[in-house]
Amino acid sequence: MAGSKQKKILFIFGTRPEAIKLAPVIKCFKSDAYFETRVCITAQHREMLDQVLDFFKIEADYDLDLMKKNQDLFSLTARALEALKAPLTTFKPDLVFVHGDTTTTMVASLAAFYAGAKVGHIEAGLRTFNKQSPFPEEINRQLTGRIADFHFAPTEKSKNNLLAENIQESQIFITGNTVIDALEETVKRVSQKIPQCAETIPFGSKKVILITGHRRENFGPGMRRVCEVLKEIVERRHDVHLVYPVHLNPNVKNTVHEILGNIENISLIEPLSYPDFVWMMNASYFIITDSGGIQEEAPGLGKPVLVTRDTTERPEAVTAGTVKLIGTDSTKLKAAILELLDNAESYKRMSKAHNPYGDGKASARILNAVKQNL
C-alpha cells in the first residue's frame, strides 16, 4: 500500500503491564498494511519492560529510556512530557494509542493532544471514583479519558462509567480487555515442563501461595501489615509455601526483604518473565495481590485471588465471587487466607474459571473500530 494512504499509528507505553496488554494490539496493527505502525517506549520501567518486549518480540522505534532509580512522580511526569515531543513531531502520527492508567499513559495522551494527534485509550473507563485509590492511577485514567478521542472499554460497566462522564457513546467501543488476548497467546506458548524459576518450589508437597504487591497507597504501613501476616502464616502452617516475585520498586523491595527475607517457607524471587509468571499463577493454590492485571488474568485460570486493596476498578470478578477485596487489615487478611486454606467449600466456590474481562478477540475489535472511525 502506498505510504501516503497509510494511517500513521504510534503506540506509547512505559511499564510492564502496558507492554503485556498492548503486545497483541501491536501485533494486529503491524500485520495490517492499512497502517504504518511504530512503537515508542518511555521506559518508565526498564528491566521489567524489557522482559516483556523480549518475550513478545517487540522492537521499539523510539526508546526514551526515562527510568531512574526511585523516581518521583514530579520528575517522571515532566521528563516524559519533554521527551515525547521528538517522536511525536518527527513521526506525526494520526493516532496515538495509550493504555490504562500509568504516568506514561496520562502524559502520552497529553503530549499527543499537544501534537495534534488523535488519542485511542485502551482499557478505558475503569473507575473507583476515589482519587486517592489507586494513587495516582485513578486520576491518570480520568485525565486520559478527558483527552481521548476513542475509548476502548473492556466491559459494559466501564462503558457506563464513561457515559456517566458525558463521553459520547459513538466514541466508546466495548472490546474486552486485551490482557486476555495476551494471556491466551502465552498459555499456548508456556511449556508444560517446570520452568527453572520454579524448580526449588515445593509444588507437589505444599499449598503454594503466589504473592505480588506494588501499589503506592500501600507503601509503608499497609505493605508492612501484609508482610507481617504472611510471615505469621508460614510460621504457623508448615503445609504452606509462599512465592513472592518482588517488584523492583525500592519502596516494595526494601520492606519485603526486611520482613520476609531468609524465612524457610518463603521464596523471594526476582520479577518473572511473563510466561514464567503465567506458569506460576497456574501452578499456585491461590494468589494474594494488589495488582490490576492479575485480578483480570487469575479468574481466567480459575485461581482465587485475595486483593490487598480497599478499592478496585475491576469489580466484575468480585461480583462473580472469584476475587475478594480484602484490603490490608491484618485480621481480615489472616482470616481470608485461613479460610481459603482450610475451607474446601469456600476454595471451590472461588476457583471456577471464568472470563468477565474478555474473550481473546479485543485486539481485532480495536483494529476494526479504528479502521471504521479514524
Would you please indicate which residues are annotated as catalytic (active-site) residues?
A: 101, 123, 137, 214, 216, 247
How many whole angstroms from its chain centre is CA 269?
A: 19
Establish if 214 lies at the interface with ligand UD1 (CB under 6 A): yes
According to CB under 6 A, which one of 46, 324, 332, 334 is a site residue for ligand UD1? Answer: 46
Q: Name the burial class of residue 263, with classes exposed (0-12), middle (13-18) and buried (19+) by CB atoms within 10 angstroms of its CB.
A: middle
Establish if 70 lies at the interface with ligand UD1 (CB under 6 A): yes
Which one of ligand UDP, ligand UD1, none is in contact with 308 (Cβ closer than 5 to 8 A by kind)?
Answer: none
Residues that bind ligand UDP (CB under 6 A): 16-17, 20, 212, 214, 245, 271-272, 274, 277, 291-294, 297
The DSSP 8-state label assigned to residue 167 in this structure reads -
Closest to 161 in 3D by CA, of 172, 170, 150: 172
* Least gap, CB of 102 to ligand UD1 (angstroms): 3
**Cis peptide before 202, with omega less than 30 degrees from 0?**
no
Taking the least distance from each CB to ligand UDP, the nearer of 37 and 291 is 291
Closest to 14 in 3D by CA, of 140, 98, 90: 98
Which one of ligand UD1, ligand UDP, none is in contact with 356 (Cβ closer than 5 to 8 A by kind)?
Answer: none
Establish if 17 lies at the interface with ligand UD1 (CB under 6 A): yes
Taking the least distance from each CB to ligand UDP, the nearer of 95 and 326 is 326
Q: Which residues contact 308 (CB under 8 A, 6 or more apart)?
A: 213, 215, 218, 222, 226, 288, 289, 290, 326, 327, 328, 333
Q: Name the burial class of residue 224, with classes exposed (0-12), middle (13-18) and buried (19+) by CB atoms within 10 angstroms of its CB.
A: middle
Taking the least distance from each CB to ligand UD1, the nearer of 70 and 166 is 70
CB 334 within 8 A of CB 229: yes
Establish if 103 lies at the interface with ligand UD1 (CB under 6 A): yes
240-279 residues in contact with ligand UD1 (CB under 6 A) are 248-250
- CA–CA distance from 206 to each of 191, 241, 303, 328 (Å)? 22, 6, 16, 25
What are the backbone angles phi and psi of residue 38, rounded to the nearest 5°? -125, 160
* Least gap, CB of 313 to ligand UDP (angstroms): 11
Which residue in the block uniquely carries the three cell numbers 485486539? 363
According to CB under 6 A, which one of 27, 30, 63, 71 is a site residue for ligand UD1? Answer: 71
Taking the least distance from each CB to ligand UD1, the nearer of 49 and 243 is 49
Taking the least distance from each CB to ligand UD1, the nearer of 96 and 367 is 96
Binding site residues, ligand UD1, CB under 6 A: 15-17, 44-49, 67-71, 73, 76, 101-103, 136-137, 214, 248-250
